[in-house]
Amino acid sequence: MADTILEMRGIKKSFHGVKALSDVNLTVQAGQIHAIVGENGAGKSTLMKVLSGVYPHGDYEGAISFLGQECHFKGISDSEEKGIIIIHQELALVPLLSIAENIFLGNEQAHRGVIDWTSSFLKTQELLKKVSLKESPSTLITNLGVGKQQLIEIAKALSKEVKLLILDEPTASLNETDSDALLELLLELRRQGIACILISHKLNEISKVADAITVLRDGATVASLDCRAEAISEDRIIKHMVGREMADRYPKRTPNIGETVFEVKNWRVHHQEHADREVIKGVNLHVNRGEIVGIAGLMGAGRTELAMSIFGRTYGQGISGQVLIHGKEVDTGTVQKAIDVGLAYVTEDRKGYGLVLDETIAWNTTLANLKAVSSNSVIDEGREFKVAEDFRRKLNIRSPDVFARTVNLSGGNQQKVVLSKWLFSNPEVLILDEPTRGIDVGAKYEIYTIIAQLASEGKCVLMISSEMPELLGMCDRICVLNEGAFVAEFSAAEASQEKIMRSIVTSGVN
């Protein structure tokens, strides 16, 4: 029987009254690879931030004991001192520094502030050997691929006498060879007695290396499975991941679907910075009149990239493919052109990309269609006020008047302002990217009602969401996007969370 290295009991954590973790228990044995799985928003990352001290002791409820000691971490440095090291999905390397400099960043091999480069280089060489990487310690990080960078992160962790290594989606941006190399390294580390927590969506990888699995759902532990005692089927994991009751949280609607209005053909997009990486790989898509089409997929599947590249090419480069409206090819090369042909894109990041927060509701409402409230380029404030006031009433935006600054509104009301802005541009096709992210339940229902209303008016709605119940509750058809390509399509009748999740987690295998 192995010893318990880490035990987390009854972890609870909330943000501004919204519960992120309600009751999480996690036990990791020494020398074990422990996988944590769960949907987007299940609380995996939050849990790891609690463990690594990003949220200091006292900020959460519950107890953590590591190597038999109660831990009260005040920051990352405390947890690192104990030997708990986390490698985030977004790598934390400085691109223009060398491998050696990165590995010993914040932990420099120095005497009285003077760096001992010889010792740094020798130690780096040793560490690189451990992760079987044949690079010179003086190579700049920017010259390495993502896979190798991941290995550098692990080497950096090894330099700090790691006892428990946490990897957050380490293979998300790696190709198959790099992924295999990484998993092989994890197995090697296990042989050396280093325990590892692996957060991943890829069930095939998990079944390859994991000794135990903890499933999180809605901020609570729903299952702890021991892979050594019995074989765990993927079905069983998926069921645990999604097994949630569908309550009556969506407005009733009777779809009235007409002819095809919006079509995208053979859409290909390359990564904004890395021109050789294709992020959208030949997507075909159509939306009919009055139809709500959902796009499901995990983070990083390319959903936002797809939407933004269509909407005025605001993402990516080397874009090819056709956009058709009513069967005619249209030019969506700039945002203005996309708006002119009847497209609207409601961003997933309303604060970053949706609103000018310092300005008022009225100001933001008309921003995408100033022409309609001005004559000869002079804005008619009376007309603007009326338009904004109309939308405020119609969408039930809660504020004293339309001159309230949007920064003071709640998430739900801000989202309604963004929706007003795009409804005022009078689009035929609305692309909604995570329309209910960070909004409380009551406001969500209101947003759903607005979306249903739009569809019944004959608009085409393309809805991107990470919340599967929301897609199942609202959409007439759901397309599943994974790694830049559609891997499945379900009608409302045949779709289920299990089927969607299965199509995602199995698509990498074949």
Partner 1 sequence: MATTTAEAKPQASGSSSGFLKNNLREYGLLMSLVAIMVFFQVMTDGTLFQPLNLTNLILQNSYIIVMALGMLLVIVAGHIDLSVGSVSGFVGAVAAVLMVQYNMNFVLATLICLALGGVIGAAQGYWVAFYKIPAFIVTLAGMLVFKGLALAVLQGSSVGPFPEAFQLLSTGFIPDPFSGENLRIMSLIAGLLMAAVLLFSKIRGRADRVKHGMDNEPTVFFIVKNLVFAGMIAAFSYLLSSYKGLPNVLIVMLLLMLVYDFVTSKTTLGRRIYALGGNEKAARLSGINTERLTFYTFINMGVLSALAGLIFAARLNTATPKAGLGFELDVIAACFIGGASASGGVGKVLGAVIGAFIMGVMNNGMSIMGIGIDYQQVIKGLVLLAAVCVDVYNKNK
Closest C-alpha among 156, 170, 102 to residue 126? 156
Find the Cα–Cα–Cα–Cα dihedral 19, 467, 473, 23, rounded to 10°.
-30
Structural contact between residues 338 and 308, judged by C-beta atoms closer than 8 angstroms = no
Q: Residue 182 contacts by C-beta under 8 Å, 6 or more apart in sequence?
A: 147, 150, 151, 170, 171, 174
Residue 165 to residues 195, 202, 490: CA-CA distances in angstroms? 6, 19, 39
Nearer to partner 1, 236 or 351 (CB): 351
Nearer to partner 1, 395 or 501 (CB): 395
The distance of closest approach from Cβ of residue 360 to partner 1 in the complex, given in angstroms and rounded to an integer, is: 11
Nearer to partner 1, 396 or 506 (CB): 396
The distance of closest approach from Cβ of residue 418 to partner 1 in the complex, given in angstroms and rounded to an integer, is: 9
The distance of closest approach from Cβ of residue 460 to partner 1 in the complex, given in angstroms and rounded to an integer, is: 19
Helices 411-424 and 441-456: angle between axes, nearest 10 degrees:
20
Nearer to partner 1, 19 or 239 (CB): 19
Nearer to partner 1, 402 or 474 (CB): 402
d(CA 439, CA 456): 24
d(CA 290, CA 414): 25
d(CA 118, CA 101): 12
With b for 16 or more beta-carbon neighbours within 10 A and e for fewer, the 325-335 pattern comes to beeeebebeeb
The distance of closest approach from Cβ of residue 305 to partner 1 in the complex, given in angstroms and rounded to an integer, is: 14
The distance of closest approach from Cβ of residue 333 to partner 1 in the complex, given in angstroms and rounded to an integer, is: 12
Nearer to partner 1, 404 or 423 (CB): 404
The distance of closest approach from Cβ of residue 153 to partner 1 in the complex, given in angstroms and rounded to an integer, is: 30
The distance of closest approach from Cβ of residue 420 to partner 1 in the complex, given in angstroms and rounded to an integer, is: 12
- The residue type found at 461 is V
Nearer to partner 1, 331 or 381 (CB): 381
Token pair 């859409």 in the structure block, residue? 267
Name the site residues for partner 1 (rule: CB under 8 A): 16-18, 311-312, 314, 334-336, 338-339, 345, 347, 352-359, 363, 367-368, 370-371, 374, 377-379, 381-382, 385-386, 398-404, 408-413, 421, 440, 443
Strands (E), 326-382: 328-330, 343-346, 374-375, 378-379
Nearer to partner 1, 117 or 353 (CB): 353
The distance of closest approach from Cβ of residue 347 to partner 1 in the complex, given in angstroms and rounded to an integer, is: 6
